[in-house]
Amino acid sequence: MERLYNQLLEDVRFREGMNACMNCGVCTAICPAAEFYNYDPRKIVNEVQKKDDETIEVLLKSDTIWYCGECMSCKTRCPRGNTPGLIIMALRTLSQKTGYFTETEKGRQQFAIKRTIGENIFNYGYCVAAYAVNPDMHPEQGPIWRYIIDHSKEIYERLGVKYDELGEGPLRKIPEDAKEELRNIFEVTGGTDFMEEIEKHSKNKAKELGIQISETGIRNEYFTKVYTENSNRHTLNDQEEL
């Protein structure tokens, strides 16, 4: 197998984001993930810049690389022009290509994202659309969201929305030919293969754990597990309690 570090170098985001880190820790000071998770972007950048494949493999199989929220606040602040967030994105891509993401609780969640956001892109032409946001999966949306879903047509119509119809406007139905172009782009650029890798590795993991998984959709035990499971071993407080 090609060296992991070389595979990272093939990602332009890695080349853009990884210059030379002097370990000042400003990225960690500004990081919303470091505020609550047991997470330190300075440490990750420092480990990656050692170019050691064993160290990188440990990262790819860790919960750690999945704590970042990709807000990119670190990019503004690094005095040496590094972007820990971009390095994280390159590590996450490689973790999914290698299948290592299924080794940890936070990594396995990629399956849930693929089956929700990923499927939305192909089904509707949107990452998110009102009709795909189920109030049962989003209690934090509060009673207004259930109300909106229960009365979608009337509410959106009043605001001038062509709800799921062809033509201009919010929440319009994306024409079939546009969705076809989107699918072709995924096919040509490796996006389809990438999502199939997420599926393949997740199905293997489900089999290994003896948990039921379906071919499509979210009505399966593996989805519920990765979408809701929280071992409570991720935050600074959790670590202290252990």
Partner 1 sequence: MNNENNKRIWSDYQKEIADDHFFFVRSCIRQSFFPGSEQFFLHLMRNILGKDVYENPSHTTCTGIGYHTDIVPFPTIMTVVARHFALMKEAGYKNLAISCVTSFGIYTEIIETWKHFPEELEKTREYLYKATGREFDLPENMAHTSDIVYNFRNEIAAKSRYNLINRFTGKPLKVVEHVGCHYSKMFPKYGVGGAEFPKVLSGMAEAWGGEVIDYPERRHCCGFGFRQYLVQANRGYSLSNSVKKFESMKPYKPDVIITNCPGCNMFMDRWQYTVKEMEGKTYGENGQSIPVLTYEELAGLVLGIDPWQLGLQYHMVQSEPLLDKLGIPYNPADKYRTREGKEMPVPENLINV
Find the binding residues for partner 1 in span 74-133 (CB under 8 A): 75-76, 89, 92-93, 96, 105-106, 109-110, 112-114, 116-118, 121, 125-130, 133
- Least separation in angstroms between residue 116's CB and partner 1 is 7
Measured from the CB atom, the residue of 50 and 147 that comes closer to partner 1 is 147
Residue from the set 38, 55, 141, 220 that interacts with partner 1 by CB under 8 A: 141
- Least separation in angstroms between residue 202's CB and partner 1 is 12
- Least separation in angstroms between residue 51's CB and partner 1 is 21
Candidate ranges 9-17, 18-26, 45-53, 210-218; the one touching partner 1 (CB under 8 A): 9-17
Residue from the set 3, 6, 29, 32 that interacts with partner 1 by CB under 8 A: 32
Question: What are the residues facing 89 on neighbouring strands?
Answer: none
Do the beta carbons of residue 116 and residue 55 sit within 8 Å?
no
What DSSP letter does each residue of the chain carry, written as one string?
Answer: ---HHHHHHTSHHHHHH-S------HHHHH-HHHHHBS--HHHHHHHHTTT-HHHHHHHHTSSGGG------HHHHH-TT---HHHHHHHHHHHHHHHTGGGGSHHHHTHHHHIIIIIHHHHHHSSS--GGG--GGG-GGGHHHHHHHHHTHHHHHHHTT--TT-SSSSTTPPPPHHHHHHHHHHHHHHTHHHHHHHHHHHHHHHHHHHT----SSSS-SHHHHHHHH---S-SBHHHHHH-
Candidate ranges 50-58, 138-146, 200-208, 211-219; the one touching partner 1 (CB under 8 A): 138-146
Joined together, the tokens standing for residue 155 give: 């509410």
- Least separation in angstroms between residue 23's CB and partner 1 is 22
54-73 residues in contact with partner 1 (CB under 8 A) are: 66-73
149-178 residues in contact with partner 1 (CB under 8 A) are: 151, 154-161, 166-172, 174-175, 177-178
Joined together, the tokens standing for residue 212 give: 């039921």
Q: Could you tell me how many residues of this chain bind partner 1 (CB under 8 A)? A: 90
The sign of the CA dihedral 37, 40, 44, 47 is negative
Measured from the CB atom, the residue of 52 and 181 that comes closer to partner 1 is 181
174-213 residues in contact with partner 1 (CB under 8 A) are: 174-175, 177-179, 181-182, 184-191, 194-195, 198
Measured from the CB atom, the residue of 52 and 75 that comes closer to partner 1 is 75
Measured from the CB atom, the residue of 43 and 179 that comes closer to partner 1 is 179
